[in-house]
Chain A
Amino acid sequence: EDKVVQSPLSLVVHEGDTVTLNCSYEVTNFRSLLWYKQEKKAPTFLFMLTSSGIEKKSGRLSSILDKKELFSILNITATQTGDSAVYLCAVFPGTYKYIFGTGTRLKVLA
C-alpha cells in the first residue's frame, strides 16, 4: 500500500532557529513530491520536486528530493513566528490523487 510518513509529528523552536522536516515515501509509482503549508484550513503550495527538479529554494525555505533513498526534506532557516503551521508532504503517483502524510506541526516561539 502506498504511504507517506512525516517526522517529527510536532516541533517547537525559537525564532531564528533552523528546522528540518522529513518526509519518506513508499509508492508503486512516483511522479512528483509536493510540500504544502497549512496555517488554519487551506493548504498553500510551497514546492514541487520531480526527477528533473530535485532541489528547490524560495527565500528562507528550501527542499531536496532523494529519489534513491525515497525521502525529501524541507528546511526553514531563521524561523519566524509566521512560520508556525502544519507542513504537509504529498506524493503524486501520476494517476489522479495525492497521497498525504500526517503532517508536521511546527510552532515557533517569539
Chain B
Amino acid sequence: ETGVTQSPTHLIKTRGQQVTLRCSSQSGHNTVSWYQQALGQGPQFIFQYYREEENGRGNFPPRFSGLQFPNYSSELNVNALELDDSALYLCASSLALENIQYFGAGTRLSVL
C-alpha cells in the first residue's frame, strides 16, 4: 500500500454537471500528478502540481482544473461533464526530482 488515498471511490454524475475528486499524497511527498485511465487504456497525464502551482499539463481542456493545498493534498475539478469523461482517475504522489510516482486506488467516475 502506497499511502496515497483518493476519495470518493466511485461517483455517478450526469452530463453537464461538475465534479471534485480528492487526493492525499504519501507522507513527505510534495508533488501530485493526476491521470485519466479509460477502460482498456493506459493512464493519460492530466496535470501535475508542485508547491501549490501547476507544474505541467497534458492534452486536456481547461474544464479540467486542479488545486494543491499547503499540506500537499490535491483536488481535481471537472466542469461541464461529458460522457467521454467516464474513466478511472488516478492520483500519484512523488518527491520533486525523483522519478518514481506512487499511485492511489483511483476514483471511478461514470457520466450518464
User: A and B: real partners?
Assistant: yes
Residues of A bordering B, CB below 8 Å:
4, 6, 31-32, 34, 36, 40-45, 48, 50, 88, 90, 92, 95-103
Interface string of B40-56 (1 = CB under 8 A from A): 11111100100000011
CB contacts between A and B, total, < 8 Å: 60
Interface centre among A41, A44, A45 (most CB of B within 10 A): A41
A98 touches B45 (CB 8 A): yes
A100 touches B103 (CB 8 A): no
What is the distance, in angstroms, from B104's C-beta to the closest C-beta of chain A? 6
What is the distance, in angstroms, from B62's C-beta to the closest C-beta of chain A? 18
B43 touches A44 (CB 8 A): no
Q: Given A34-B99, A95-B56, verify A41-B41 contact (CB < 8 Å).
A: no
B56 touches A97 (CB 8 A): yes
B88 touches A97 (CB 8 A): no
A97 touches B106 (CB 8 A): no
